[in-house]
């Protein structure tokens, strides 16, 4: 069931999202060749806790037998690791890498979720273009994240933009509703047919997140049970914000 947030709930969503954005900015400032993804994890967690929030991803249940709960405060996914990369002291960022940071701040019963892909030092033109197209795909999608449009309009716009630019979207993972829970209804694919799906209404809060690869859309899962990789080893990028559907333009809560 898709929940419509009250004014007081929206204010709490704004605050959780504001803190998530602060944590992203702290991580972005720290990214450099030679830093470990575990150190980035510590920076994000410290920023959240200093602002009265907790990292919602830490301890998130895998839902799979034999796979432990997620150990990190962030997902840190490097190069062909699309999503759910586990932070590690051994995973040292190198010049030319790209790293996707996905994090969720939880405060006063509500979540704020955002993801970004960052350059590590100087990167190739092709890698930068992948990052840019992935980010723009989000903004192409939210042109339709307005009262009266359907969810499929958002999904279709994202997928078409990515494909027209020669990249591929991941089909096995998607965006989602967000609020009291990190993952709520509805699921939001990054592809689909326009005019399909639920009609968007003011008060809905959604986490829209293009996940894009430079090669084929096929994926594989790490033996750790969490990390998702491109099957062909191609680079991948991820961009996400928590948004609020309003009477007019959508409000991007994690850019405040």
How many angstroms separate the CA atoms of 254 and 153, rounded?
A: 22
**118-123 contacts at long range (C-beta below 8 A, 24 or more positions apart):** 118/27, 118/28, 118/31, 120/31, 120/32, 120/33, 120/93, 120/94, 120/95, 120/96, 121/32, 121/33, 121/95, 121/96, 121/97, 122/95, 122/96, 123/96, 123/97, 123/98
pLDDT of residue 63: 87
Overall fold of domain 7-255:
Creatine Amidinohydrolase (3.90.230)
Check whether the bond before 186 is cis (ω within 30° of 0): yes
pLDDT of residue 256: 67
pLDDT of residue 135: 98
Give per-10-residue mean pLDDT for the chain (256 aa).
96 98 98 98 98 98 92 98 98 98 98 98 98 98 97 98 98 98 98 97 98 97 96 98 97 92
Angle at 221 between CA 128 and CA 75, to 5 degrees: 55
Closest among 125, 148, 180 to 4, alpha carbons compared: 180
pLDDT of residue 19: 98
34 neighbors 93 (Cβ within 8 angstroms): yes
Pairing of strands 228-230, 205-208: unpaired
Query: Where are the chain's structural domains?
Result: 7-255
How many angstroms separate the CA atoms of 107 and 222, rounded?
A: 31
Closest among 222, 246, 220 to 234, alpha carbons compared: 220
φ/ψ bin of 56: left (φ > 0), alpha (ψ from -120 to 50), beta (otherwise): alpha
């Amino acid at each position: 069931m898709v929940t419509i947030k009250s004014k007081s709930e929206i204010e709490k969503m704004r605050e959780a999202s504001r803190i998530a954005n602060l944590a992203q900015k702290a991580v972005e400032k720290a990214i450099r060749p030679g830093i470990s993804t575990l150190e980035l994890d510590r920076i994000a967690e410290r920023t959240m806790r200093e602002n009265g929030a907790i990292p919602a991803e830490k301890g998130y249940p895998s839902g799979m037998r034999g796979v432990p709960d997620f150990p990190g405060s962030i997902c840190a996914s490097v190069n062909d690791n699309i999503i759910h990369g586990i932070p590690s002291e051994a995973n040292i960022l190198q010049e030319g890498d790209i790293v996707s940071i996905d994090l969720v701040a939880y405060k006063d019963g509500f979540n704020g979720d955002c993801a970004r892909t960052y350059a590590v030092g100087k990167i190739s033109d092709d890698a930068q273009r992948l990052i840019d197209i992935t980010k723009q795909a989000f903004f192409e999608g939210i042109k339709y994240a307005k009262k009266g449009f359907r969810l499929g309009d958002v999904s279709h716009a994202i997928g078409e933009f990515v494909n027209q630019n020669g990249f591929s979207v991941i089909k096995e993972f998607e965006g989602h509703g967000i609020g009291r829970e990190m993952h709520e209804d509805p699921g939001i694919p990054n592809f689909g047919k326009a005019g399909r799906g639920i009609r968007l209404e003011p008060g809905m809060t959604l986490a829209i997140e293009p996940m894009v690869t430079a090669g084929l859309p096929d994926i594989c899962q790490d033996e750790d049970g969490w990390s998702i990789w491109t099957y062909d080893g191609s680079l991948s990028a991820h961009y996400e914000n928590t948004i609020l559907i309003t009477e007019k333009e959508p409000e991007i809560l994690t850019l405040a």
